[in-house]
Structure 1
Amino acid sequence: MKVSTKWNGERAYTMTNQRGKTMHLDPDGEGVSPMESVLGGLAGCMGIDIIMILKPYADKIKDLNIETDGDRNEEIPKYFKSIAITINIDGDIPASRVWRAVNLSDQKYCSVANSLNADLSYKVVLNGEDVEDPKK
């Protein structure tokens, strides 16, 4: 999976995936902030999992809405210290099956949830050339 993110000036960027779909990132203007996109990505990932896991009840699901509320660190870096996730689902589905779907998503299937503590590696290309980290 690969995306390209192009600077549009100030703090605005346009992210484009390999299928040509875009998302406008701009914490000051028309788009969403990068951290809002993390919350939305988490909700979308869990929503996909929940619907897939509850497939036997597909004809009974009337609505699904997931709200994510992130509590950020006050100091830089302002990472998410905690995220409260509320799954609002309407339909004739046993609560135990919904909780099973939520727990399976959280613990096994949701790539976003399981990436929030990912190891990160960096590469810098400056003016077309790879630049090594001087601290290494």
Structure 2
Amino acid sequence: MAKAKMLRSCPVAAFQKMISGKYKLRIVWDLKDGPRRYGEIRSGLLRGTDGSSEITPRVLSRELKALTLSGLIDRKDYAVVPPKVEYRLTRKGKSFVPVIAAIRDWGERHLSEPAALAEAAE
């Protein structure tokens, strides 16, 4: 109960809990350009990754489910064969894109220098 009260009273803690996860910010960022299917999201996450060259289906599914539960994305299941599912930003998710853009801009300004990258790695 104390934890729930803290999250209600501290927007920063609630925000941190909502976006915690390795891929959530990148998924929302990729969806800014329109709806994507599972495979498109997965391949988008694999482009530009420095570390692992693979995201497991279980991890991606968990991140998508969490983003859906938080109200940032919507899952649309088409009743067709073969199965077709699309993910798109909700109004709440679209309002989050400028926040990610600000984080991206900050990163470009402050993390692109070799000294800053070395500091971040420590």
Given the two structures, how large is their TM-score scaled by the length of structure 1?
A: 0.22
Given the two structures, how large is their TM-score scaled by the length of structure 2?
A: 0.24
- Flag the structure with more relative contact order, 1 or 2, with Cα contacts below 8 A and sequence separation at least 6: 2
Give the number of the structure whose residues are more often helix, by fraction: 2
Find the structure with the greater CA-based Rg: 1
Give the number of the structure whose residues are more often strand, by fraction: 1
